[in-house]
Structure 1
């Protein structure tokens, strides 16, 4: 309704009790082994977001300190059950009422009582959270929050009542039922201080969906043009922070401790995206980024970021931080690891979360050693069966690998273990581990080693016999993820199938003349099965359908004679 008109009415306030259940992040942070054996955070992968859009009614933009009644097609995301399909937006400052967030807000109804709503895609079983700001227009206004399938029924989350002197903030949660892949988030006026339901109940800052989640991606580029970094090269690090969750992330702060083998290039720090304030100095001054003591870069990101605190990244927003470093001579022959951490706050649960991204840079001569493995037999093994594992180490370059050593971890269920290189040189085995030094591997060269043993008697079925081989050399490895290979085989209670041996040789046939033919024996005097004189019996191959020829005789009968006998067998008897 027009902001300057309305009618008065009495009102009654109802208590609101909305339970907020504990919430979990949409993606768990895991760790992965580093090249030196320590655990490092793995880059966070956010679950697909579930969220409504335009929750602050910032689109479309209307004139300052003004109001506008628009067709719902012009207000992204939102719809109404009103017959005229109209939605009313206000700009902050009109009638002295500021927006709760941003610049604009909405009145629940425009010209007639109806529901304002938004339908979003949802995942059955997920717990969604909602948050909104609500305010009365002429006094205390009351509305319902309704959630459910678009076709109904909608479940009432409770009545919200707020006066006209300040915005009230309300939160809640909702578990998506099985099979419900679209969910409606709606509001319905209950009472207004002005009397008419089409007047009052201001709304702003609405969120409904999954928790916030920031995806972080860090990349390094050698600006000197070398394939591998060398002392004196300039490297550019670029960190992209993206809002991939269903809610905004508050207090976004980036921390990046620089490796000791690189030096920061003064004045190279830059930020792009929401809240970016132009070029940054390296000092702790009025801008949002600084180089701290100990070689640590800290940048406050997002809308509203200051020198003292991080700002806000909305779902879908992206911020980029870049800076340059120079490789120091002390870094030659090392594998440099750089991990960036981005912290942020979930405003509904008031909990702090972090995301990470790690990059590796090989400095000086580098050799990418890759390990692959196989086992034979590949199927399950029975106790006392023999197993043979084979591993191949390949140098993918770009430099030769000197003094490569393969360390093999052996399972306790394998007995009589022998580990040897391709030329038969045995490797030292002690305490369930074997150490196999290899010769220098040129680019493209490979070395092979074998692990053999038998399954210990009494090993329970289902036991996994896993052998792991890991390689290291003098040179840094630019791809540490392929330095290790694990091969597994399972123990079974059944005997292990063996490879069939050679076919037994048939004894030689007696020598016969090419023209000689054996004389068939005379028909037996026994009665054929089913014939006169009995119901069963046997006869020669020539007379009986079930008669057999002794196995020893088959080897001595020429093929032609056998064919003759078969022909006589199939010939019908004369009456």
Structure 2
């Protein structure tokens, strides 16, 4: 399938009249169909190496105005440029055209963009943009992106991004990126960069890594990880042991074979493994550790840094009281004399970054008070007035034998506390008269 080269046309008055009538019909039909007649517009860019099959396309269903996930890397050698295939698919539910833009050649690198017919569309893409033919929903076309470095400085990197914008909806954008590594008779290695992660104290956070030999000779790479004190990092092979799939980036329970190196890798061969970071049991909410992964081979090395942040609940209990007889606001204490009626407030807040579970309160009632019947209230409001919070959402409470007992949070029962999400506060109120 080719790309449309122009959206210009000449027309006679009769032709213009017919086109105007068609336009009126096109506008008239959605008027009677309602809002449902207007369909969504969305380009979907995908990228793979030219040497791979279509099953290797990366980025389907991912829409990034700046490519992070849908990005592929490949080495280039003198006389052997890096080649990628970029697919643009109409992921909307109406026919649409897409404006493709991409950088052009420079003194450092030559870039060409060939359509399915082999026609170089570089001038259009790097200029005002290239407008595709009208694509039906689900229909696609591709460009062959060829990147040739002009000077082969070992390890030099050239990034070329292709951006697609919907003509039907200019806010619908997607981007795919290619990275070319220049190699000249020297070793080179690429280390993937997984995103930062989080974990509760005591939890193991697994980071999938891929080390690729992008040199032009066999090489073996040693692997090591360095973490700050109190944090533990281990390296395990992504070998599919225990029923998993080797190299899938998802650590299975059986993948426990430690790895200190990749073994011998042919040019272009990858090695996949996990960095397993254990969050210390004593880690406070928000504690962070930077892990340094080091890869070292014959004449080539690389590193990556990844941050792990501890997420934990931080449950805080605060108390207040106000004198209802004399008036006043909730404060840590209140002036009162026998006969005055006080209202007590207990606020339970999860100020951490993870849900708090099994939230319970067991607090004695101050001496010298007679608790007013039916005054116990559980609420999400701090005022002490209004309707109570539903037990399924906030929990249960009771006062028996001079003690306030509460099981708080969603899913709480009379025997166990429930779950309190981060940032949520539950209030308990009761009224009592001073004897």
* TM above 0.5: no
Task: Say which one has the larger Rg.
Answer: 1
| TM-score, normalised relative to structure 2 | 0.39
